[in-house]
Amino acid sequence: MSTSPRKRPASEALVAGGVVVLLIAIIGLVFWSGAGSALYPPKAATLQAEEVSKLYNIVFAIAVAIFIAVEGLIIWSILRYRRRPGDVDLPPQTHGNNLVEALWTLIPTVIVLYLFAISWQTLNTVDYTSFANGQQPDVQIHVLAGQFQWQFEYLDSSGKHLATQTKPLGANGGMAVPVGKKVYVTLSSGDVIHAWYVPRFLFKRDVIPGQTNHFEFTVDPAEAGQTFHGQCAELCGTGHNAMHFDVMAMTQSDYDAWLAKLVETANATPPPPPSGAPTIQLAAKNIQFESTGISAPANSPFVIEFKNDDPSTITHDVQIRDSGGTVLQTQDTIPGGTSANYQYTPLAAGTYTFFCSVHSNMTGTLTVK
């Protein structure tokens, strides 16, 4: 038997209070130091994402409360109910209590039903599409994903093809959308499963071959001029981590100009290969160059007439790097079923590697002499 009578209530209250204060202090410190803010989603860029952000805040608050309550109870029990040297008698052999069992079944049930209800409510906003509600969206874009690049096909209001943006990134690349407008996106894949993911939209949707997925979003008008980074989120093979794209938020007038230029470029007849420059034929099929050894004259501009014989979702280009791996000349990718005349500036005599920037397995030797 322990000899000194314990002042149980006082010490219990003290330990319990201490534990709760400690936990709140730690959590406060984490957030005050800025590390905790990384647990919040990035600033929402679409009206849908703002709803998700609000929902997240509620779930997060409940999560922190449950965390403090239960971890606090565990830590308190650890500190308070250590077996002390005088503890020979058994503690009270409590086998259970139906009332508290019922309580901690019912209360969590109410909490999760509440979470389900508010989630469902937000889901209806996030999953809203104009078409499903008998309305017309402002912009329609068909996203094509292929290993390992994105293309964005712009459609008119009747769903007819306007032009395809084949460059997912960079100065002339990316998916432009007008702010404050309903943008309806359909997704299709020609090979494996990808996922269209923009972190600041707090949204992703799988791009599944044999199935056309769709969603709709409206970019916050305050975001005009911003570029959002997007990336494939479903493992799609070797180049998965390189499957990036940009989403540019534009004012309506900027967007109109951008789209007009895209249409104009797409409809322009490709310039004929400059006469005089030697032309080399090269084709790609089944994610392979049909020739892995080509040659070009030294110190002279030359042209590669490149034909992409893969399905339309698969894009290729022909870039050149030296033996040290430094990329010397780049080209824009072209989708399957098209061809292009790539023009190259003069190279000194030597051996180079030509390669596809989308598929690391596609390489060949370029002999310049």
Partner 1 sequence: MATQVLHPAAVPAYRGGLYEWLTTTDHKKIGIMYVINSFLFFLIGGIFALLVRTELAAPGIQLFTNEHVYNEAFSIHATVMIFLFIIPMLAGLGNFVVPLMIGAPDMAFPRINALSFWMLPLGGILLLLGFLTPGGAAAAGWTSYPPLSEKGALASPGPGQDLWIVALILIGTSSILGGINFLVTIFKMRAPGMTLFRMPIMVWTMLVTSVLVVMATPVITSALVMLFIDRNYGGSFFNPQTGGTAVLYQNVFWFYSHPAVYVMVLPAMGMISEILPVFSRKPLFGYKAFIFATAGIGALGFSVWAHHMFTTGAVFLPFFSLMTFLIAVPTGVKMFNWVFTLFRGQLTFSTPLIFAIGFLTMFLIGGINGAFSASVPIDFALQDTYWVVAHLHYVLFGGSVFGMFAGLYYWFPKMTGRMLDEGLGKVHFVLMFVGFNLTFFPMHMLGIQGMPRRIADYASDAGWNDWNLLATIGGFTIAASILPFIWNVFVSLRNGKIAGDDPWEANTLEWATSSPPPPYNFDRLPEIRSERPLFDARHGQVGHGGHGKRGDDDAPKALEEGHHDSQGPTA
> Is 153 near partner 1 (CB under 8 A)?
no
In sequence order, the β-bridge partners of residue 146 are: 149
Shortest approach of partner 1 to residue 180 CB, angstroms? Answer: 21
Applying the rule CB under 8 A, the residues between 105 and 144 that interact with partner 1 are 105, 108-109, 112-113, 115-116, 119-120, 122-123, 125-127
> Is 185 near partner 1 (CB under 8 A)?
no
Binding test (CB under 8 A) with partner 1, winner from 169, 192, 224, 298: 192
Binding test (CB under 8 A) with partner 1, winner from 18, 180, 199, 297: 199
SS3 letters across 89-101: CCCCCCCCCHHHH
Shortest approach of partner 1 to residue 149 CB, angstroms? Answer: 12
In sequence order, the β-bridge partners of residue 321 are: 327, 353
> Is 56 near partner 1 (CB under 8 A)?
yes
**Cα(342)–Cα(355) distance, integer angstroms:** 13
Applying the rule CB under 8 A, the residues between 226 and 265 that interact with partner 1 are 229, 231-242
| Site residue total, partner 1 (CB under 8 A) | 91
Binding mask 262-301 for partner 1 (x = CB under 8 A): ------------------------xxx-------------
Inter-residue long-range contacts of 126-129, CB under 8 Å, 24+ positions, other chains counted: 126/48, 126/51, 126/52, 126/203, 127/215, 128/48, 128/216, 129/184, 129/214, 129/215, 129/216
Q: Are 298 and 349 in contact (CB under 8 A)?
A: yes
Shortest approach of partner 1 to residue 39 CB, angstroms? Answer: 6
Please, where are the H alpha helices in 89-246?
A: 98-126
Q: Which stretch binds partner 1 (CB under 8 A): 191-199, 266-274, 300-308, 316-324?
A: 191-199
Q: Which stretch binds partner 1 (CB under 8 A): 14-22, 156-164, 188-196, 275-283?
A: 188-196
User: Residue 310: left if φ>0, alpha if ψ -120 to 50, beta else—which one?
Assistant: beta
CA triple 133-137-141, angle to 5 deg? 125
